[in-house]
Structure 1
Amino acid sequence: MLLSLDGFCQPEGELGILGGMGYYMGEYNPNRHFDRSQRYLGGFCRYNLNDRFALRLNAGFSKIDIRERSLLSNGETVYPAGFHCTVKDVAAWIEFDFRSFGCRK
């Protein structure tokens, strides 16, 4: 996350947008980070149960774009036309907030 704005906190529910970059790391791209990065777009919904607990749901998507990679021992290209895929991400979790405990000085 590059930017976080903390000015509009709702007492019960919050909606927001997520953005970033996504890329593939695995057998087709074993050691080149951020190679052919694609946009990641998504959103979230959070419902605050009380001062300590909240339920959160995230959903987003990105694309994977892999072009000619020699993967076989004879140098043959596995996907000569490239490999393109849309990745969809959905996650749900429970958040626990420690701020309400406070720190004594």
Structure 2
Amino acid sequence: MKSPVSGILILYTFIASWFVGGLIAFHLYLIFTNQTTYENFRCRYDGKRNPYNVGCARNFREVFFSKIPTSKNNFRAKVKGDSSSIFGASMSVGRP
């Protein structure tokens, strides 16, 4: 009663923790069933077996302990060509 701000902060923390807890639970469900959010919301596997689901433990191990393949893009490579010509052409598209 002496500090209403602390009561408001307690209430805010309680509500925020429910939202974060719900997100954690939903994403653990996605991991254990080996689905993406898109697949889950579009009901891709209703009535069919998910071909990527290999069981809870193996799905968990696949997500957290498998090696990430190396990228085929070299993001540090130099850009070839004159970049100012690209901007010049795109700026004049709408002009007569």
TM-score, with normalisation over the residues of structure 1? 0.19
Q: Which is strand-richer, 1 or 2?
A: 1
Q: Which is helix-richer, 1 or 2?
A: 2
